[in-house]
Amino acid sequence: MGGLKDVLYFMVHPNQLRSVIQWKLWHEPVHTRDPSKEAPTLRSCFEFLNLTSRSFAAVIQELQPEMLVPIALFYLVLRGLDTIEDDMTLPATTKEPMLREFSKYLKMDDWTFNGNGPNEKDRELLVHFDDVIAELKKIDKKYYDVIEDITIKMGNGMADYALNAEFQEGVKTVAEYEEYCHYVAGLVGEGLTRIFVNGGTANPALLDRMELSESMGQFLQKTNIIRDVHEDFLDKRRFWPKDVWSKYVEKWDDLFDPKYRTQAVYCSSELVLNALKHAEDCLFYMAAIKEQSVFNFVAIPQTMAIATLELVFQNPKIFYSHIKITKGDACHLMMQSTQNLRVVCDVFKTYARRIAKKNDPRDPHYLEISIACGKIEQFIETLFPTQDPKKLQAVQDAQGHEGAQNDFWEALLLVGCVVFVLLFVSGLMLGLAWYFGARFDVMFDKEAASSLKAAAKEAATATVTSLAHEEL
């Protein structure tokens, strides 16, 4: 049934089908993983990677060989940690110590865990976690140390929230909201940045600007929290801060009541505004990536996030269904994200404009959202200034007029030089002739010219007479 639905959808949306075909046929990975050269435990890790996240798995497996295994294992370790934290069937008394001790399990041979609920989607990863541990022992220590450090920080942060009774009722303040996003996503950005720099694929200056890494994680996590609000509501989880939603409704459940749909949409707009503030930092971060496969790895999730943010903005469907960008749009975004920073900036600019276009003047945050979208465009303009055709034509016309004037004066100067040379050479020749006795006065005096001719004739006659032959 699903296949028939897809066929009908693509028949109505041929551009979506074209994007899928382009990605499938024309996308050429920068690097290709070779499973035949991998140990069985490593192949097992990549199988679990494909099961836990198909989108991330595809991008990870195109990374350069130096980055491939460390980042794949880093993702699986954090996914294992997240599987424990997300499992609502585990009591806090079990969950809290496991989260704090998870970094120690990475050093325990053959450690596994099968206590997750049967419906936990990634439980198989923990059931076979010994394969991940076996591969962790093989990677370079500089990468292992990063993975261990981030696991400790994230585990302790998740444990604190698991024990926090107030958090069980939902996030209360915006500060708590951003702190939670830091633990589950900001730390991921920090770890990836350290791995990139250690591997020589990113500018070391990123280590001094960790707020950029933080924004990369926050932007993704906040977008997911906005999109998944209905799913989290069904699971009795509240990640939207009470300080925000309480401005629009009295009770959390009211957000999902059709009677309060307008207020709910305005509430989501405030969270979209909160997420948009990270967009500029994300673009700045991506400018520091030095290797193409790593750039693809960081760019694809970010373009997906800005597209998702545009999808959920002013969209009441998030309160009664689970929505996501279409497969065709996803393939089109991946094609654009695997090129260069300029194209990625164009994607951000396109979706920022779409958000601004969807912005409702009745929304309490209309002006702030418009300003936020304008700031994104303004920042992109500083990176890649727009070439306005009209301005370019005006400049060319001005240059053409100025060039015509320059050509006239250059021609005049050339003629002047030629005339000067002719006059100089002529004057020099006349001067030499005068010096050797030339009589220029006869040119203007007729009597002098006649006497000169007579003298010349007499001289010629005398010469002939003197040269006559005498008898022998």
Side chain identity at residue 87, one-letter code? D
Find all residues with CB under 8 Å of 400, minimum gap 6, and list them: none
- Candidates 214, 166, 221, 174; CA nearest to 191 is 214
Q: Which two tokens stand for residue 402?
A: 């100025």
Query: The tokens of 249 are what?
Result: 């409704």
Residues listed for the chain: 472
Which residue among 102, 143, 177, 180 is the active-site one? 180
Is residue 297 among the annotated active site residues? Answer: yes
Say whether 435 is catalytic. Answer: no
Q: Using CA of residue 190, residue 192, residue 195, residue 196, what is the dihedral sign?
A: negative
Residue given tokens 């969209």 in the structure block: 315
Query: Positive or negative CA dihedral for 285, 287, 288, 291?
Result: positive
Tell the burial category of 221 from Cβ atoms under 10 Å away from its Cβ (0-12, 13-18, 19+): buried
227 part of the active site: yes
Catalytic residue among 74, 183, 297, 313: 297
CA count, 13 A, side-chain hemisphere, 195:
30
- CB–CB of 276/372 below 8 Å? yes
Catalytic hit among 123, 237, 261, 353: 237
Cα atoms in the 13 Å half-sphere on the side-chain side of 270: 16
Using alpha carbons, select from 317, 218, 228 the residue that is nearest to residue 275. Answer: 218
Residue of 219, 227, 295, 319 with catalytic role: 227
For CA atoms 203, 207, 208, 210, the dihedral sign is: positive
Residue 103 near residue 156 (C-beta atoms within 8 A): no
**Alpha helices by DSSP H, 199-291:** 210-227, 229-234, 242-245, 261-276, 279-286
Closest by Cα among 113, 115, 126, 122 to 91? 115
Q: What is the largest CA-CA distance in the chain?
A: 156
Burial (CB count <10 Å: 0-12, 13-18, 19+), residue 109 = exposed
User: CA distances (Å), 338 to each of 206, 212, 296, 332, 345, in order?
Assistant: 21, 21, 5, 10, 12
Report, as residue numbers or ranges, the catalytic residues: 180, 227, 237, 297
